[in-house]
Amino acid sequence: MKTIPIIQIGVGGVGRALTQQLLAHGDALAARYGIRFEYVGLADSTGLRARRLGLSVSEITTALAEKAVGQPLSPAGAFGMGWRSFILPQRGIFIDVTAAGGHEQALAERVATGHRVVLANKKPLSADFSAFQALTKGGGTRYEATVGAGLPVISTLQSLLDSGDTLTRIEAAMSGTLGYLCTELEAGKLLSAAVREAHRLGYTEPDPRDDLSGADVARKALILARTCGLPWEPVQIQAEPWFPAALGDVSLDEFMARLEELDAPFAARVAEAQAAGGALRYVATISAEGASVGLRVLPGDHPLASLRGPDNLFSFTTARYAERPLVVRGPGAGYAVTAAGVLADLVATARELRA
Ligand SMILES: NC(=O)c1ccc[n+]([C@@H]2O[C@H](COP(=O)([O-])OP(=O)(O)OC[C@H]3O[C@@H](n4cnc5c(N)ncnc54)[C@H](OP(=O)(O)O)[C@@H]3O)[C@@H](O)[C@H]2O)c1
């Protein structure tokens, strides 16, 4: 039996689902692959709870229960040390399931010393290209869940490229929140009402502008482009925001109060799309020539036009899939499916470490 030490950074919705899946599935993985994951650390924004020889199941479940009711892992710094200064007893895996920026250098240092990284966090891969290179060098980082949550998007793209196919274009709708809003608009809802409802249901970030800016889609597009070998920097992908610049600087309360200002322009765009027999979608298009991320009117028979609600769709047009693109479609968000994407990456990484 090979024991693989793991440190999980982030114990939020995805992080807790991942830990629960690993605890539930650990014996099956041990039986199937002769691999046992050992949690040596769990970290949140307050600090690290760690034990070099492995946290016990009761220590892990206690930590999960505390995080579920909003308690910090390290009240008043009681556990002192952060994950950056923790030394793993042997080669292991750092899992980043936070949404935090600034982890790329520390994670790349772990890769450089023989450890592996698994990410649901997009930010380490969408900073400078040099950080992406350092993280992914020698296959040191897996990141399936960063794009399309649990859908096999990155692995599909990598398999196409590894087998000698060449990419012509990726077209994708990869924001569940913006997909939901497009469907509501199509059903006749005003944008202001749709955004308030999505906010109330927790479909948007606490500040809906984080979704409506398109920045999250631009990060995913950058990760896809870099996976194709394009050495792009973040400035090379500009997303079209759903609101004018003037509403970007006001307080959240003022933004929510002024949402009605967006109703007429969006109603006009939807009416125009419907009059042409098409559909309005928030689309990312990536090719070697460049990327665009924004609202597009698509013909009614376009695969993306048939999308409903928060589902994602990724269409890969390649030399081999030239006439009919290869399509990956399904739920692109949710704690359980995202955690499952991370867990699949963990298992693949552990099998490599065992070998
Ligand atoms: N939710 C989805 O459906 C989905 C789908 C695909 C990808 N993702 C990605 O998965 C990641 C996690 O999403 P989530 O929904 O689980 O977020 P979340 O519920 O907000 O949890 C984030 C966790 O990260 C911790 N954290 C924040 N900053 C940190 C730092 N600097 N150092 C250590 N820990 C830190 C937070 O600590 P505290 O508890 O102390 O605040 C919290 O435990 C995000 O990058 C997200 O984009 C999510």
pLDDT, position 80 = 53
Residue 123 Cα to ligand 1 midpoint, Å, equals: 11
187 Cβ partners below 8 Å, 6+ apart?
Answer: none
Closest CA to 39 of 62, 8, 1, 70: 8
What span, in angstroms and rounded, lies between the C-alpha atoms of 275 and 273?
A: 6
Where in the chain are all domains bearing CATH 3.30.360.10?
Answer: 162-331
Tell me the fold of 2-150+336-354.
Rossmann fold (3.40.50)
Which residue's structure tokens are 């269409």?
A: 315
* Ranges for all domains in the chain classified under CATH 3.40.50.720: 2-150+336-354
Give me the half-sphere count of Cα atoms (radius 13 Å) on the Cβ side of residue 148. Answer: 23
* Helix, strand, coil share (%) of the chain residues, nearest 5: 45, 20, 35
pLDDT digits (tens, 9 = 90+) for 232-287: 999 999 999 999 999 999 999 999 999 999 999 999 999 999 999 999 999 999 99
Residue tagged active-site, from 67, 122, 189, 220: 220
Rounded distance from Cα 12 to ligand 1 centre (Å): 5
Average pLDDT of the residues in 159-175? 97
pLDDT digits (tens, 9 = 90+) for 67-113: 999 999 986 554 556 899 888 889 999 999 999 999 999 999 999 99
d(CA 134, CA 121) in angstroms, rounded, equals: 16
Mean pLDDT of 296-323: 94
Least confident range of 61-65, 71-75, 188-192: 71-75
Residue 239 Cβ inside 6 Å of ligand 1? The answer reads: no
What does DSSP say about strands 311-318 and 116-119: parallel, antiparallel, or unpaired? unpaired
pLDDT score of 203 more than 90 = no
User: How far apart, in Å, do the first and last CA atoms of the chain sit?
Assistant: 12
Q: Which CATH class is domain 162-331?
A: alpha beta
Answer yes or no: is pLDDT of 178 > 70.
yes
| DSSP state, residue 332 | -
**β-bridge pairing 290-299 and 311-318:** unpaired
Q: What local confidence, expressed as pLDDT, does residue 179 receive?
A: 95
For the chain, the average pLDDT equals: 95
Told to judge if 220 belongs to the known catalytic residues of this protein, a careful annotator would answer yes
CB atoms within 10 A of CB 183: 18
How many angstroms separate the alpha carbon of residue 109 from the centre of ligand 1?
Answer: 21
Query: pLDDT for 125-154, tens place per residue?
Result: 999 999 999 999 999 999 999 999 999 999
**Has residue 57 got a pLDDT over 70?**
yes
Q: What is the mean pLDDT of residues 56-70?
A: 96
Q: What percent of the chain lies above the pLDDT cut of 90? A: 90
Residue with CA at minimum distance from ligand 1 atom 20: 12
Q: Which mutation among 14, 85, 146, 337 tests ligand 1's pocket best, with the greatest number of atoms within 8 A of CB?
A: 14
